[in-house]
Chain A
Amino acid sequence: MSSMNIIIGPQHPALAEAEKFTFKVEGEYVVDVEPRLGYMHRGIEKLAEQRTYIQDIFLVERICGICNVPHTLVFCQAVESLADITVPPRALYLRTIVAELNRLHSHLLLLGLSAHLLGFDTLFMYIWRDREAVMDAVERITGNRVLSAYNTFGGVRRDITEENIEFTRKVVNSLPEKVAYYKKVFVEDPTLRMRTVGIGRLSKSKALDLCAVGPVARGSGVRADVRLDDPYAAYGEVPFDMVVYEEGDVWSRLMIRCDEIIEIIKIINYCLDHLPPKPYRARVPALLTPPAGRESMSRVEAPRGELIHHVFSDGSEKPYRVKVRTPTLANIPAVIEMLKGGHIADIPASLASIDPCFCCTDRVTIVDIKKGSKESLTLEDIRRKYTSRR
């Protein structure tokens, strides 16, 4: 049978983000996939070299809206190790709580979206309703729903109040029962099973070979979770289990998220119960100048998998180089493997099962701000405007 190419994207290949996939198909089957990345490039690695360390926290937070907490966390960890800053224990616990709340809302978001893509909109709306409660808890603790700007060098930006501890407990403890029901729907609903079981297979050996990370690797039986392998923040002290499924299909990747939510709730409750005493932040100079010639590579487990920042210092107040490797980029070779041999109709389900975040993946090119155009303001312009008013 002769083959033909179908282009999906750049607008909206699965979720509402731009990326282009060229599928070589024979009849109903996908033979090969060629991804074209780069539609969402903002040049953040280069921009980070032009700004001071403290400004960069707010820059790296904007790499991704959904997993903004892991980005600031991993960047703060890398810079703290460069500049020999010790973080107080309370801050480590607070960082863990906010990182887990972030993972909680991200997993709920993905479960809901998967239901939506498989044509089950009622389930989508139920799950997203519950996600809102988690967002409320994040807003109460950090001051913002999405971009929380919570982590900073030496700790976190604000302490948690007794009232917010109670509120967070109430929110997370209302979830296990609901999530158990959603899991039951994913397990038992015949249509959802037909669309997910055995679809988008990724074997364990392929997952290892293609360096898959996070729920994608764990869904194929690879025991890899940075929280347990290379503990950071308070994870070394918190008891929890790694969720691993052996099947390696879309269904197992959804089950990973369902089961992880239960683990997340365990972690949050443990941290709230065992919060160490104050302070919640160590005093650090506003303008950090780590010694020249140092480098630090920090890893965290973002909701989508392993996230790393590799920071180099040259003794000045700006980093010499910031390298970011996001989980979706690591999972692109794996998703190509999943799509090969599958039906065209299964493309959205497979793509969504890695929980793609293309804003994360594309981050490296340079943004061209047109000189003289009235609308475009650089960060520097905005800063100047503010300081002149003061």
Chain B
Amino acid sequence: MEDQLIKKISEELKDSIEEARVLGPKRLLIKTLPKMHRDVIKYLKDKYSATHLITITGVDFKDFIELTYLLWCYGPATVAMVKTRLPRDNPEIETILDIIPGALLYEREVHDLLGVFFKNHPNLERTFLPEDWPDGVYPLRKDVRFDQI
């Protein structure tokens, strides 16, 4: 079932994605460019009722920051993992709040801990870190060590 689904997604989204494959049972992996992620998420929402954003996972891979939007598609009952890579020195990406309002805290969390800036987010304030936390120190980045904090 996943194979047919990924084939269909690859055909219909061929202009906006880089790669699409099956990662395991009920897990689809879709790689896209940061400019295109909104189109992909909008498509999944309209077509497969992917209204449930499970979370946004941010990982610092030293050369780039990778964001994974984990979406539960109610239609085919599958998790779609939409991945996009951002440059590490200036990680900026458009918000998806207008498509999925539930992304509010997840975008704030990634901003807080990994320093990714979400454009057009209405309230990108501190979420988890204390008020006196130094600016520009993002604890989940790999170059931040325990003894520095």
Contacts and interface: CB of A to CB of B under 8 A. Distances in A.
Interface string A279-299: 000000000000000011101
A362 B105 CA distance: 12
Contacts of B79: 230, 297, 299
A118 to B, nearest CB: 28
The main secondary structure of chain A at its interface with chain B is mixed
Interface stretch (A100-108, A262-270, A319-327): A319-327
A310 B102 contact: no
Interface string A201-231: 0000000111110000000000010000110
Interface residues of A, number: 37
The main secondary structure of chain B at its interface with chain A is mixed
B146 A310 contact: no
A341 interface: no
Contacts of B128: 37-38, 41, 362, 364-365
A310 B72 CA distance: 14
Interface residues of B, number: 38
Contacts of B146: 46, 50, 366
Given A41-B128, A230-B79, A320-B59, A364 B100 contact: no
A229 B72 CA distance: 10
A364 B105 contact: no
Interface stretch (B2-10, B13-21, B47-55): B47-55
B122 interface: no
A365 B53 contact: no
A368 B105 CA distance: 25
Contacts of A37: 105, 127-128
A45 interface: yes
Nearest to B123: A34
Interface in A29-61: 37-38, 41, 43, 45-46, 50
B95 interface: no
A56 to B, nearest CB: 16
A323 B139 CA distance: 13
A81 B100 CA distance: 29
A75 interface: no
A224 B26 contact: no
A312 B77 contact: no
Contact of B140 (A45, A224, A332): A45
Given A211-B102, A320-B59, A368-B149, A299 B51 contact: no
A297 B81 contact: yes
A308 interface: yes
A233 to B, nearest CB: 14
A43 B129 CA distance: 10
A325 B128 CA distance: 14
Contacts of A306: 54
24 contacts: A37-B105, A38-B127, A38-B130, A43-B139, A45-B140, A210-B102, A211-B51, A211-B53, A229-B72, A229-B77, A230-B26, A297-B27, A312-B59, A321-B59, A323-B58, A325-B106, A329-B105, A329-B109, A333-B104, A364-B128, A364-B140, A365-B129, A365-B130, A366-B146
Given A41-B128, A297-B57, A368-B149, 13 more contacts: A38-B127, A45-B113, A208-B52, A209-B102, A210-B102, A211-B102, A295-B23, A297-B81, A320-B59, A321-B60, A330-B55, A362-B128, A365-B130
Can you list the 8 inter-chain pairs with the closest CB atoms, starting with the nearest?
A211-B102, A325-B55, A38-B128, A323-B57, A210-B102, A310-B57, A321-B59, A209-B101
